[in-house]
Amino acid sequence: MNRSSQLEHYKQQMASRGVSGATAFPPAWHVFWSLGVKVPPPPFLGFASLALITGGLFGSLFGFIAWLLGNRGIREMPAAEAAWVALITGTIFGLIMAAYYRGLARKHRLGSWAAFPDSQPGT
């Protein structure tokens, strides 16, 4: 099965199980795939990978926005403070998202991405 048909099958399976498209296919993954990065959907990644990817992306974006907005008020936010904000929020967000997606994979008994259609109970 090629990658696009595997993704389409995954999309149909998750929709039939009541998982929303935004959860099954987060916007960051659309960007990865459009850039040609062959990363599996989030439920098929390990806890550490999920925490690093989601936390890194969210923390970087959040820290940058906090720095921009922090420099518009009465007080200025140094870059080092924005980096701490990014690190703390990214870590918390990454751990929460990794736990969520690993729980989703466990709930729906998702196997490995390489064997996705064949590893599904009842398919």
Domain ranges of the chain: 3-114
Question: pLDDT by residue (tens digit) across 44-91?
Answer: 999 999 999 999 999 999 999 989 888 887 778 898 999 999 999 999
Q: Which helix (H) or strand (E) holds 15?
A: helix 3-16
Quick one: pLDDT at residue 1?
A: 66
% of the chain exceeding 70 in pLDDT: 94
pLDDT at 103 over 50: yes
Supply angle C-alpha 6, 11, 16, rounded to 5. 125
Quick one: pLDDT at residue 123?
A: 46
For residues 121 and 115, give the distance between their C-alpha atoms in angstroms, rounded to a whole number: 12
For residues 96 and 118, give the distance between their C-alpha atoms in angstroms, rounded to a whole number: 29
Quick one: pLDDT at residue 119?
A: 53
